[in-house]
Amino acid sequence: MSARKLTIGMIDFTDKCVVLKISDYRENDRLAKVLTATHGMVAVLLRGVKKTKAKLKPFAQEFAVFDTRLTANKGVFLTPIEPLLIQDGFSLCTDLKVFTAASVSAEATVAALGDDEPHTQVFVEFLKLLKELQPNCDPYYQAAVYMTRLLKLTGFYREYTYSDEPLTPVQMLGLAQKKGYEKAPDRDLSRRALKYICSEFQRNFDIGLKSVDSIDLYGK
């Protein structure tokens, strides 16, 4: 069931959710672009979250993961009913490199999927990425792993040249494809690999990723 189809008539379902994008809406509200496990991409209205003691404040954060009932009556935006927080996104927003890696991945996900069908495999893969994005990891490498898998899941598979000791961004992507979410041997090379896979993504989907420019802001 798609987000567009869900705008017709009464909507009421329960699902697992991860927030990919947050934007301001009205004086005290925010809108969340949310990827659900089985209902595709949806827009969720979080009312009153700009207020100091708002109960929904933890849910109005990029990369928050939660279970909830979502409902709407002939509206474009869904409303969460008694959401249960699984993981807040605050820890991923305190480290600038981690935040950049997660933001690039989230923006690519929104651009790749649209909102017309379920994307359970991508949902699971994005949760794997969030689990791996810790301050002591190489976040750019983890994001590069995710981006290679996102392209494959959306029909743009390319097998990159593999090397146990990569010397180029392409070889680092080959390592990412084969080894998955493991520690990368060269942080600057993983940064360049992430930029490379982002350029591949942009060519395939003919869309720019604004957050890519942040990859170079924080050094190696």
How far apart CA 212 and CA 143 sit, in angstroms, is: 12
pLDDT tens for each residue of 3-40: 444 444 678 999 999 999 999 988 889 999 999 999 99
pLDDT tens for each residue of 98-117: 999 999 999 999 999 977 78
Please state the φ and ψ torsions of residue 186, each to the nearest 5 degrees.
Answer: -145, 110
Per-residue pLDDT at 145 exceeds 90: yes
Per-residue pLDDT at 84 exceeds 90: yes
Query: For residue 2, what pLDDT is reported?
Result: 40
Residue 8, C-beta contacts closer than 8 angstroms, at least 6 positions apart: 74
Per-residue pLDDT at 220 exceeds 60: no
Are the C-beta atoms of residues 105 and 153 closer than 8 Å to each other?
A: no
pLDDT tens for each residue of 189-208: 999 999 999 999 999 888 88
